[in-house]
Amino acid sequence: MVKKYPVRVNVNGDDYEALVDPRKTLLQFLREDLDLTGTKEGCDEGDCGACSVILNNRVVSSCLVLAVEVDNAVIETIEGVKTGEELHPVQQAFVDSGAIQCGFCTPGMVITTKAMLQEMPNPSTKEVKEYLAGNLCRCTGYVKILDAVENAKEKLKNG
């Protein structure tokens, strides 16, 4: 029997208690144990950003965090971004700008954009490119994603 460790964690406002295998990443824990499958696994080694979540107010790659490390942490995943049935302005901006093709990178893009706009409401294009540099998209060519971020900035300003 593999020894398991107790973890208490708040995800999207809900408290969870679980016993976890120490080898499990936060990404696996979210997807397999909590059934929050919006967060995607791309590379599983910290290079693509598909697994981005906000951990204690900072955007991180959940594939490079062990589930046992997040005891007592507060986490936001893509499932927690909308309010009720209403999309978050960042999500709506991605839809409006046509910044989604296959959609695999989108949860990570949205989470990272949200984290960025919380830290700096009015980033320059250069700052946006730097902040999103760890989020890879194989479909869109990034132009529409940058449009979506501009759009999201406006929406939040007028919010």
Partner 1 sequence: METFEYIKPKSMDDAMNALNTYENAFLLAGGTDLLVGMKYNSIKPECIVDIKEIPRMNTFEFNDGWRFGALVTVRDIEVSDRLKQTMPFLNQTAKALGSIQIRNRATIGGNLSNASPCSNFGAMFLAMDAMLKIISKDGERQIALQDFFCGPNQTVLKKGEILTEIRVPEDAGKAEGIFLKHSAGKSNDLGLVNIAITLHREPGTNLCKKITIAMGAVAPTPIRAKKAEAVLNNNILTPDLIIRAAKKASNEATPISDFRASADYRRSLVATMVAKGINTLIKAS
Site residues (vs partner 1, CB under 8 A): 2-3, 5, 21-23, 25, 44-46, 49, 52, 58-61, 63-66, 68-69, 71, 112, 115-116, 130-131, 133-135
- Neighbour tally for 157: CB within 10 Å: 11
Shortest distance in whole angstroms from residue 125 CB to partner 1: 13
Distance CA 10, CA 56 (A): 10
- Are the beta carbons of 117 and 131 closer than 8 angstroms? no
Distance CA 159, CA 151 (A): 12
Shortest distance in whole angstroms from residue 157 CB to ligand FES: 26
Q: Summarize as ranges the residues that interact with ligand FES (CB under 6 A).
A: 41-44, 46-51, 61, 63, 100-105, 137-140
Residue 103 touches which member of ligand FES, partner 1, none, C-beta under 5-8 Å by kind? ligand FES
Distance CA 73, CA 71 (A): 6
Shortest distance in whole angstroms from residue 128 CB to partner 1: 11
Instruction: Phi first, then psi: give them for residue 53, nearest 5 degrees.
Output: -140, 165
